[in-house]
Structure 1
Amino acid sequence: MKKELKHLIAIMVLFLGLVSCHDDLNQSPIDPDSFTEEDVFANATEAKGALAKLYASLALTGQQGPAGQADIADIDEGFSQFSRMLFNLNELTTDHAVVGWGDAGLPDLHGQYWSGSNDFTEAMYYRLAQEVSFCNSFIENASALSEAEVQFYIAEARFLRAYAYYNLMDLYGRVPLVTEVTTELPTQASRTELFNFVESELLAIQNDLKPSGSNEYGRVDQVAAWALLSKLYLNAEVWTGTPRYTDCVTYSSNVMNSTYSINMNDANGNGTAYDELFLADNDTNGAQNEFIFALNFDGLRSQTYGGTTFLVHAAIGGSMNATEFGVNGGWGGLRTTKNLVEKFATDINELNNALGTQSDWGIVGDGTPNGWGGPDTEMFQTASNQYALYADLTDGFLKFRFNEDWGNNYGDNGNDGTLEPGGDNIPVTAGTYYITLDLNALTYSITPFSADSRGMFYSDGQNLEIESIPPFENGYAVTKFKNIDSNGMQGSDSAGDFVDTDLPLIRLAEIYLNYAEATVRGGGGDLNLAATKINELLERATGGTSANITSGDITLDFIIDERSKELYWEGQRRTDLIRYDYFTTSAYLWPFKGNEPAGTSVASFRNIFPLPTSIITVNPNLSQNEGY
């Protein structure tokens, strides 16, 4: 499906609550490349092309390329892409991200002061409503076909519709529930009714979808239904008031026992297999074995200014080199807050004590913990004339010095990595580093360090503290997504505009964490099994067993932090924070939460977004969410 998306199919869109009755919608299309409904559903082969549109509607934005003939009017087409909206609503509203752009309605999201006329909450509603409409039309028309293969297509369409309603329920609470093409104004369903519909659909189709791992890459199978049920049941107490953690354990177990597996293939040989999940060849480098449901992107065949094109370009700015990310430039927008960065902090003292014996050689300077006045931050001897140190540095300079004696110090003339007695000060930037000193070769190294390789940040010229949001330099940049493959080659678009990297919407690692959380919350699972599964993720993250846990370490606080470290920028965070009662309350704060530099609580009605004012205006059957 990734490489062979057909021409997008012209299907009439009936938005939830917004109905069009223009006569010209009943006419045959003029474009000879378009298909009439009769053509589309003439047989199973053509119906598969229509199915492609259902998947494409979550990845793309219109009928041609990255812009032009948009599916949704009155908003920049690139802004309206589904996963870009998912990032805006579920990540930008949290501690995971800020954006410096001032487009109307965008600063409102991180500041948590959006209204019913916010362009982005409205666009997401329309995008999901469109997906429901496309799915309804497909299911109705494909049901007339007799080929056995079509039954798989229908089950996939029902999954995609359930996924759309899962998000509508999560984001907006009460929305119309429409399961067939109609011209009547729909009424509003409660969250419990929506929950019951999504649950019943997934239970009904679980055996109609293809078995685990047997479908084409990019299309869902039976495991996707189980995985979405796992997510649904984990949040049931928030959405319906009734906990369903036992069911979450059951369906998480089904997923964990399937053919899907955690990617442990370090294809680029950098010491971890985590980054392979977010590279341009993640459909073939082993990551695909972890992806249960993913959006497929191709820099030549499926171009959009949303998706991973957005995640790569928008996160590049300041002194970052765009070519290292496989694109032609950065958009200077997205960064993260110190809350996420500090989740990856390590115990410096513990690391240093494991290096060897403390020595009289140390580092001194305004970039070091004790400044130019000292005392020196002492290094540890690892071999004869070999010294090392883990240290938290600030922007400034350092030198190497023996026993706090300026008569025996080394610097670096020319900043070329070699040392000279009494040489120039060595410039450093803020961050945690592993520093080595080799007195035999008179060389040194200052290497950024994170014990957890999932923490992928760019700090050169970036401030950890965010004093104000617009300047790109405020906040560390995130380097998680790249348009570079495992061999270091750029994606297929040689111009560097559009990105090949696929985006996982559900992957196995999340289900491991669902299982653990549901078990802790009383779902009856096995904490020892949960620890074993989480240790798979930790071993991938650290390259060893040093961070491994036991069942006694698994607490709710541990899990929410582990979810943050494993899943950041993948569209999950807001939902997680709400489940923990952290999203709007003062129990957990981050910079500019509630539009305050230090963070503050906001009213609890912001746990859901408003229905678009335009929808309320045209459909008298709908009432606005409380607080809006």
Structure 2
Amino acid sequence: MKQRYFKHILPAVLLTAAGLGMGSCVNDLDIQPIDPQQPAYNIDQNFAFAYSLLGSEGNLGLSSDEDKAGFYRTVFSLQEYPADGVIWQWQENAGIPALTNLSWDNGTNIPEWAWLRLGYDVTQYNLLLGNLAGKDDAESVRRRAEVRFLRALHYWYNLDLWGVAPVKEVFDNNNPVPKAGQELFDYIVAELKAVEPDLYAPGQAPFGRADRSACWLLLARLYLNAEVYTGTAHWAEAREYANKVLTDGYHHLTNNYKALFMADNDVNMAVRPEIVFPIRQDGTRMKEASSAAKFLVCASRDGAKPVMPDLSSNTWNCLLLKSSTLLKFFPTLDDVPYLKPEDFKSEYENFSRQEVITFDREHGIGTDDMVAKAGDDRALFYGGVGGGKHSVSNDRNGAQPTDNFAGDKGLRVVKWSNLRSDGKPASDPSDPDTDVPLFRTAEAQLIVAETYFREDNKAEAVKAIAALQQMRNRKDLVTSAKLDADYLLDEWCREFYWEGRRRSDLRRFGKFTSSDYLWEWKGGVKEGRGVDDKYNTYPIPAQDYKDNPNYQGFGGVWYN
């Protein structure tokens, strides 16, 4: 088969773990994947490999760009870079200005990487499902359900980001068949409902494997966004499945938000029950250039002198915070506690880590001060003396779209951390142990709140939001008078900024492309501007559309 889909994906499927750049999977799933063409196809190893795909980097034949083509990094980039929270500092990098400015087309590289990565993973899942077919022992039945869940999760990303998916259920050389809109929505819902009974009961799965609550939360997410995907709202169904998670007897909210994103979140039982479905990571056994956690932790750290206070030894200087997100926590930017660039002195560059901590404490500019001033545990930002100069403004170095942002043009987000909550050292100071919570109980809580709000039951919506805010030690609690659509959208941001979902929420509220809500560099200008509604989704990559005859004449989505 000469189609590009298979030129990129099928050869990659036949590579060994060494080709993937993974020495092993992690923790409970610590097994190497093997070559599926070997006579003895090891289902145990390849089942572990199916999960490891979520947190590993690329294997798409992209040479020097493999570290940018992992599942989590690509979907995070498409969800966050065009939205109101994240700036990639190096705008000279190919494809980045198109995301920053909401100006991509069907030849932009990063959406193409995501499209190919989702297809690669689905191909691996279909290969494994073929080898599990006909096995009726309890573990094989459960594994088959989990792999179908993972495949449905990938198709949800296709639905959300492109509005269309290249659907395949078997491993062969036939071209995938596109499904879009209502048809794709119904297909994913049916898949999830079919596998639900065969998944682990809530809280019974080894940490990192999907259970029924993960299935319910993905269904709730689908129903929450159903009006976007199909034109028909399903608020009651979204709330029904969200409530299944909230009442499953195991998962619940934690009152330690910070620890949700720390290196021991897999063993800290004060926070683990909030994590419904994680991407497992391990700093000792995942030595990749860009695993999911490594990307989140290292890209958000500044390596300028003096050192930042959180012990990270691997600083990329890549991700900056847009000031629009700060304004979800502070009335004005003048209320944000940070060291102004003009107050930074050259002698500060020689500070030790302890001197940085002391200076920040004495001047009230550390992350603890940020949290206290915001009156909200979720304000995990840093603007202290560590990492050099900082600013709340997001200004380019020049006037061109490819001009970079200076390292001081945005505060740093320290939400993702390789520190442990118990004070012990992480297994590796360079490669994070932090598991990435892909689904959290807080999502179910806010789905309940939003669906009540959409149905004009403001009292129940306020109750649900307040319950979450109290667990986050928010001082300025929601009231009926405060609650409107903008407040609710802001609450989604306060809870989930930098977690790879912001574009979806903005789109559901009609704010992603419109001029109703503007943020820095939306539409390619500093003050922001609205863009064409076609940018609510991404186009199918041009070459894939050309090479797969099943796409020809298939209407309803943006191809060119």
TM range (shorter): 0.7 to 0.9
Aligned mates of 1:234, 1:169 — CA distance in 2: 13
CA shift, 1:293, in A, is 1.1
Please point out which of 10, 14, 18 is paired with 2:6. 18
TM-aligned CA distance change 1:489 to 1:72, over 3 Å: farther
TM-aligned CA distance change 1:243 to 1:431, over 3 Å: same
What is the match of residue 474 of structure 1? 409
Residue pair 2:264, 2:434 contacting (<8 A) in 1 also: yes
Aligned mates of 1:296, 1:30 — CA distance in 2: 19
TM-aligned CA distance change 1:75 to 1:533, over 3 Å: farther
CA shift, 1:146, in A, is 3.2
- State the one-letter code of the partner of 2:315: G
Residue pair 1:60, 1:303 contacting (<8 A) in 2 also: no
Deviations 1:530-576 (A, max 9, x none): 44443332123227xx4333566543222211110000000110000
Aligned mates of 1:174, 1:208 — CA distance in 2: 27
Please point out which of 103, 110, 128 is paired with 1:113. 103
- Residue 188 of structure 2 aligns to a residue whose secondary structure is helix
Deviations 1:266-314 (A, max 9, x none): xxxxxxx110011000101132211111101101112331311111111
Please point out which of 168, 180, 184 is paired with 1:194. 184
CA RMSD of aligned residues (A): 3.7
TM-aligned CA distance change 1:529 to 1:115, over 3 Å: same
Gap runs ≥5 in structure 2 = 20-31, 344-354, 397-403
Aligned mates of 2:440, 2:189 — CA distance in 1: 19
Residue pair 1:322, 1:329 contacting (<8 A) in 2 also: no
What is the match of residue 558 of structure 2? 626
Aligned mates of 1:492, 1:609 — CA distance in 2: 39
Aligned mates of 2:129, 2:236 — CA distance in 1: 32
- Residue 438 of structure 2 aligns to a residue whose secondary structure is strand
What is the match of residue 26 of structure 2? none
Please point out which of 349, 364, 377 is paired with 1:453. 377
Aligned mates of 1:163, 1:415 — CA distance in 2: 43
What is the match of residue 55 of structure 2? 59
CA shift, 1:99, in A, is 1.0
Residue pair 1:394, 1:429 contacting (<8 A) in 2 also: no
- State the one-letter code of the partner of 1:99: W
What is the match of residue 392 of structure 2? 464
Name whichever structure is richer in strand by fraction. Answer: 1
TM-aligned CA distance change 1:586 to 1:146, over 3 Å: same
Q: Structure 1 residue 234 and structure 2 residue 224: aligned? A: yes
Aligned mates of 1:21, 1:112 — CA distance in 2: 28
Residue pair 2:253, 2:441 contacting (<8 A) in 1 also: no
Aligned mates of 2:286, 2:18 — CA distance in 1: 23
Q: Structure 1 residue 307 and structure 2 residue 292: aligned? A: yes
Please point out which of 614, 617, 620 is paired with 2:543. 614
Residue pair 1:195, 1:240 contacting (<8 A) in 2 also: yes
What is the match of residue 492 of structure 2? 563
CA shift, 1:391, in A, is 8.5
Q: Structure 1 residue 224 and structure 2 residue 224: aligned? A: no
**1:332-411, aligned counterparts within 5 Å?**
332-345=317-330
Residue pair 2:246, 2:252 contacting (<8 A) in 1 also: no
- Residue 325 of structure 1 aligns to a residue whose secondary structure is coil
CA shift, 1:261, in A, is 3.5
Aligned mates of 2:424, 2:330 — CA distance in 1: 31
- Residue 327 of structure 2 aligns to a residue whose secondary structure is helix
TM-score between the two structures when normalised by the length of structure 2: 0.83
Aligned mates of 1:149, 1:497 — CA distance in 2: 36
Aligned mates of 1:182, 1:36 — CA distance in 2: 13
Aligned mates of 1:229, 1:15 — CA distance in 2: 33
Aligned mates of 2:322, 2:430 — CA distance in 1: 27
Q: Which has the larger radius of gyration?
A: 1
Aligned mates of 1:497, 1:391 — CA distance in 2: 29
Residue pair 1:535, 1:549 contacting (<8 A) in 2 also: yes
User: Number of paired residues?
Assistant: 519
**1:415-430, aligned counterparts within 5 Å?**
none
CA shift, 1:57, in A, is 1.0
Deviations 1:479-531 (A, max 9, x none): 111111013333212xx321110101110001111111112112x9x755544
Please point out which of 244, 256, 259 is paired with 1:276. 259
Identity, % of aligned positions: 29
TM-score between the two structures when normalised by the length of structure 1: 0.75
What is the match of residue 100 of structure 1? 89
CA shift, 1:239, in A, is 0.5
Aligned mates of 2:441, 2:16 — CA distance in 1: 44
Residue pair 1:93, 1:109 contacting (<8 A) in 2 also: yes
What is the match of residue 536 of structure 1? 467
Please point out which of 266, 273, 282 is paired with 1:298. 282
What is the match of residue 500 of structure 1? 433
TM-aligned CA distance change 1:115 to 1:534, over 3 Å: same
More displaced 10-residue stretch of structure 1: 26-35 or 555-564:
26-35
What is the match of residue 77 of structure 2? 88
Name whichever structure is richer in helix by fraction. Answer: 2
What is the match of residue 504 of structure 2? 575
TM-aligned CA distance change 1:415 to 1:485, over 3 Å: closer
Q: Structure 1 residue 518 and structure 2 residue 451: aligned? A: yes
